[in-house]
């Protein structure tokens, strides 16, 4: 069985981890393997921005993917950025191994609103599906309800659904089929 290794960067609540593991099975048909949590990513702290560099964290995470895992998903409570954007909800390697999701701006408390645990879990699942979708070759989708649509605000996250649109479903199925039967790719490439 193909597995996704799940790791936290710093502390993440157990109920969030459990929901994300269910989400991975529901949307990708993959089992998850929880890794020991990583420490606080002080090496990625950017004092001028008061945020953490997702690029620095991803560089470090690449060393932790177990050989039997097909993907590595990291979760963190840290507020992440890339140089060209003020923040990111997550980041992933397109057709790669690694995806990371930040819970910081998915929490109602970030917007000075009362905590809403069910809403946090729903948002975390959508962003996990989005970032994991990138690792399976999916790019941003124009369908606003598709989890692969681009989210630059929390309202856009809330406007998305959890299920892929028809076009993204086709691409994902092909990618998952190749993952499960890598010999198919070699057969198709032969003359």
DSSP 92-156: E-TTSSEEEEE-GGGSGGGGT----HHHHHHHHHHHHHHHHHHHTT----S-TTSTTS--SSHHH
Q: How far, in Å, CA of 77 to CA of 120, rounded?
A: 12
Whole-Å CA distances, 152 to 106, 134, 139, 146, 186 = 12, 16, 15, 14, 39
Does residue 127 have an active-site annotation?
Answer: no
The sign one gets for the Cα dihedral 16, 97, 65, 76 is negative
Query: Which candidate in 131, 143, 188, 189 is catalytic?
Result: 131
Which amino acids are annotated catalytic? Answer: 131
């Amino acid at each position: 069985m193909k597995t996704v290794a799940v790791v936290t960067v710093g502390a993440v609540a157990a109920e969030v981890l459990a929901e994300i593991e269910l989400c991975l099975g529901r949307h990708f048909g993959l089992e998850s393997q929880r890794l020991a949590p990583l420490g606080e990513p002080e090496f990625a702290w950017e004092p001028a921005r008061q945020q953490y560099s997702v690029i620095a964290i991803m560089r470090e995470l690449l060393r932790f993917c177990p050989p039997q895992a097909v993907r590595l998903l990291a979760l963190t409570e840290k507020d992440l950025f890339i140089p060209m954007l003020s923040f990111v909800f997550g980041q992933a390697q397109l057709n790669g191994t690694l995806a990371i999701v930040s819970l910081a701006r998915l929490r109602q408390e970030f917007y000075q609103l009362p905590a809403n645990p069910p809403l946090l879990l729903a948002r975390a699942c959508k962003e996990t599906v989005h970032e994991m979708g990138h690792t399976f070759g999916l790019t941003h989708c124009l369908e606003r309800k598709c989890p692969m649509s681009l989210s630059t605000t929390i309202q856009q996250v809330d406007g998305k659904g959890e299920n892929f649109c028809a076009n993204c479903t086709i691409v994902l199925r092909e990618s998952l089929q190749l993952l499960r039967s890598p010999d198919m790719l070699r057969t198709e490439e032969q003359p």
